[in-house]
Structure 1
């Protein structure tokens, strides 16, 4: 049986570049290479997102109520918008890098001649009392405590962080403000708004899609690496006792790293299909993408939502990765630049002189369909993912050190693409979205992998880019950032240059590679495939093959015939029109967030079960039990 082709029919999310759908985030990273209308449209959307302008009666206005044109927004706010997006100095309202909270231990000593005493509330006395304390009642509520020996106290204090840069969401954009977030951790709030963006970008109402497939033919694979570590998740739960507070009923449950998938099923899609999250450190998005691709190729699912949401820009994550020597510190950047004033916007420096990666927050989601369903519904196709390869490193001395597994994934990905688009297609019309973490080790090891694979397949001057230069390293979501950027390159024919470096470092392998510091503009048809490469701590390596939309369409014409494809194009026109209508609303802040808390719940008693199928309320198609003869011969 011919394998179903997983095609991308929608994508969306948010990172330091802004909103991902309709390539706005990509356009921000190559803004200097965009034409004026595209530049001004993206800037206007960011201005509204960052609360620099407001929308009244469909028009952009400033705080004084003056109506602004796109050109006026560009002239007045572009400098602020550019400064408040992409990698930059950590903003104090998010986390003050100059005054990060911690507790300082202070020892107090008392002697027989000079005891120490203080007055406190009876309710604040510790249980049990320390042996060297004596307590005298002053009144019904207060006591005097006398110390007869030494005692240690923890005192609130502040200190600067060594790391002061991050890839933060655009200044002023708060996902939790867009819906009734009910004390959701930041990562889950990002999940809700990010997956909504992806679903709206499809241009087909979700319920219409649901009616065309069986309930178990929808799947969701989403999660996070670091779980939810802010006050509303594991961060608050772990810190509560030390801070003298109480754990809430939500913190543990909402902190789970699989909770993004659970939220999508329960509050966005209402799905009863396959669900889960595969964690693979910094390659997690591709791990989940592989699950989605395999579900569609096998026919188990016809629609799959894949994505990740990560919110690690907090003191604990920064100090944890910093203690490993993995992050770019202020002092490290100062030494690289050779000057006291550090340009934090250039903190992430893939394949250049660098000193560590830059943490980032992001949520990215793609909607996959099998090719037959996409044609049936008239879904717009933004690309196809025929394969994702995953390999471990084998025996390791250091769990965080790179290893040989990435050689396997990259080589298998290239070999796979050669069989699809031919050797010339790979050699002349493909490019690489490198992991490009911006560490000294990565610039050498990853470039050597790409160099050796390129040599083996006779690829000369293989274009290599790295989106982390612009948006930082969002851990679980990192390869999602890469994929979204690749779709932008397919759309506009622009391969982003690594513009945060002045030159490629001397120790980078590049005899067969082309690593540019400026954007490269090509005709979109000159790009047929992109290789998404990701390397994660612990030996988690993944590489994906992503085909350009015009290549996917060529494949579908051949598989389904010209007549079927022509009918599909007619249906697609309406889809594109609906999707464009959403983009126009989103640019003016009408994001139409999908959050169905307690709505349309399924009554278990209404489920109809027979020997052949299950009928679930709210789903037009029944879940029919599949015929399975895989092991029958073992019982004959």
Structure 2
């Protein structure tokens, strides 16, 4: 019988705040929750944003709200984006002359330049004819909205992060946050499993793109800079997994990333799920970290017509000012998506190990379905693959939950806020709902709150969905005031306000996470509620085993709650161990039965039998 991959930890950071403790979720539905429930979240956000957390008053809450969710971009100044203009200088009555340090002379002196020494270090340059130059400028960028992490949250203060790309800083924080949420020390888990029974699937869809990585490396020569030794290695798309293995959890297990554009998180979730189901791993850390709020990256999407530009938003509102907060408007009159940054990680665990440890079960991954679009006119346009993935996930939900249980599911739509997405995705959901006799399928889209974090986007969806089973509210799409005329609504309930679905969300048995990526990368994941998961575990292992688990879990919950309270007060454990307990060849002992590694309690077992003996 396949193992059920349980979600036992979650962590990260996006425009709504910290993921563990469900603080980012609570920020989404803050207007529906009681003051006492929100108190810890306001304190946590105040800590992260460098505000006074000792006296959370109305002014502090107003500052927190203004500095979170989609808003005016903070990683760059949209009013002063550095730009270089090409120009040709033409001499007047006299040749063009200027002074220059000899060290700054070009390696190849242009044929129309004449040099005259001024002293040992300086020359006068005389140019006969035209002179091509680049003139430094600063432009008003057409897009000013973004889903940046909370204003004031200084990633550089977390750990010794010198020269690390922003996406890797987000990785270290997000992975640490996920491990802190477990309520069990990571090293104690390692004593119960073999070193190769850990999987890490983490990456970024775009790679690392800032000045410390690809951005700096590719532009260095053109800007008179230099390429550092770290840029190439740290720019790679799988580097989040590499950082987690080496510096966060000290793992010698399976590693990598599976890329599928904006569906990448679900691709990685599927890899971790398969490792747990097959028994290859007992624990899998999966996730994505993305830091694409860079004008070079944004320009690539903008010229495709994908981003919501300021003038378009003004036209939608018939206004002279931009409403940055409402830049992303899924399923309504809209103009494009809003770029965002995020790091989201979940810890999956073998069901037997989870019951033994007593870790909290936040849900389980039933399956993730991935299908391509086949032949289509444009590689970036949506196609037929997403019909297949949504239909497969819905069919599995029906098989697990039954006809009646299927009515108690909801959908986290990809919901980018583009005119094309609102038509195509709503048609897919409406058609599937009709085919499976779902009469009023709740549909939401949290990109309206946190923007589109590319490869991490489905992680944002998952964390928000798990929050529903803690506090009972499905976040509605609050940035819209109507559904567009071309949106398909039959059999759907596209939520324009928060919907209460019972204490701890008990009315909802599962969620479908939907993601559509450029190039035809479609993925839909089916995630089961913690209540549904426990019911299935009871059927498999018996009531006595689950009762014993719940007794253990009470202490685990207390430990995790203490860690969360400490983090809200500013005391959290950022796991980053560079150069600690390094294992070299002297720490490896190999026999025909096993490989033993220095510092690990258990050995890696080697194959002793032929798994293909039936073919012999």
Contact kept in structure 1, 2:52 and 2:60, CA below 8 Å:
no
d(CA) in 1 for partners of 2:87, 2:106? 18
Match of residue 122 from structure 1:
102
1:82 to 49, 65, 68: 65
The residue number in structure 2 matching 1:17 is 16
> Which residue of 1 is the match for residue 470 of structure 2?
491
DSSP 3-state at the match of 2:46: helix
Provide the residue aligned with 2:417 in structure 1.
438
Q: Which runs of 5+ in 2 are unaligned?
A: none
| Correspondent of 1:547 among 515, 528, 533 | 528
Q: How does 1:372-387 map to 2 (within 5 A)?
A: 372-387=352-367
Which residue of structure 1 aligns with residue 541 of structure 2? 560
Cα deviation for residue 570 of structure 1 reads 1.4
CA distance in 2, matches of 1:40, 1:632: 61
Match 1:278 to one of 238, 245, 258: 258
Q: Are the structure 2 counterparts of residues 361 and 628 from structure 1 closer, same or farther at C-alpha, using a change threshold of 3 Å? A: farther
- Residue 363 of structure 1: which of 302, 326, 343 is its match? 343
- Aligned position for 1:622: 603
| Cα offset, 1:630, TM superposition | 3.7
Per the alignment, residue 460 of structure 1 pairs with 439
SS of corresponding position for 1:242: helix
C-alpha displacement of 1:631:
2.5
Q: Which residue of 2 aligns with 1:65?
A: none
How far residue 176 of structure 1 moved from its aligned partner, in angstroms, is: 2.2
CA distance in structure 2 between the aligned counterparts of 1:575 and 1:290, rounded to whole angstroms: 27
Q: Which residue of 1 aligns with 2:451?
A: 472
Could you tell me which runs of 5 or more consecutive residues in structure 1 were left unpaired when the two chains were aligned: 55-59, 61-67
RMSD between aligned residues = 1.0
DSSP 3-state at the match of 2:133: strand
Q: What does residue 227 of structure 1 align with?
A: 207
Residue pair 2:195, 2:604 contacting (<8 A) in 1 also: yes
Q: Does structure 1 retain, via aligned residues, the 8 Å contact 2:593–2:608? A: no
Q: How far apart, CA to CA, are the structure 1 residues paired with 2:192 and 2:122?
A: 70
Is 1:297–2:277 an aligned residue pair? yes
Q: CA deviation at 1:628?
A: 5.0
Q: Contact 1:176 / 1:186 at 8 angstroms: preserved in 2?
A: no
Q: Which residue of 1 aligns with 2:460?
A: 481
Contact 1:176 1:190 in 2 (8 A): no
Residue 584 in 1 paired to residue 583 in 2? no
Query: Does the Cα contact within 8 Å between 2:40 and 2:565 map onto a contact in 1?
Result: no
Q: Distance in 2 between matches of 1:306 and 1:180?
A: 24
SS in 2 for 1:386: strand
2:497 aligned residue (512, 518, 527): 518
Aligned twin of 2:240: 260
CA distance in 1 between counterparts of 2:295 and 2:13 reads: 21
Question: In the TM superposition, what whole-angstrom CA distance separates every residue of 1:406-447 from its partner, at most 9, and x where no partner exists?
Answer: 0000000011111111111012x1000000010000000000
Distance 1:566 1:631 in 2: 40
List 4+ stretches of structure 1 deviating above 4 A. Answer: none
CA drift at 1:163: 0.8
1:531 corresponds to: 512
- TM-score between the two structures when normalised by the length of structure 2: 0.98
Task: Give the whole-Å Cα distance in 2 for the aligned partners of 1:593 and 1:279.
Answer: 27
Shift of 1:155: 1.4
Distance in 2 between residues matched to 1:157 and 1:473, nearest whole Å:
29
Question: Counterpart of 1:57?
Answer: none
Which has the larger displacement, 536-545 or 555-564? 555-564
- Normalised by the length of structure 1, the TM-score is 0.95
* Residue 207 (1) aligns with residue 206 (2): no
Contact 2:196–2:281 (CA under 8 A) maintained in structure 1: yes
Which residue of 2 is the match for residue 313 of structure 1?
293
| Alpha-carbon shift at residue 627 of structure 1 (Å) | 4.8
2:378 maps to which residue? 398
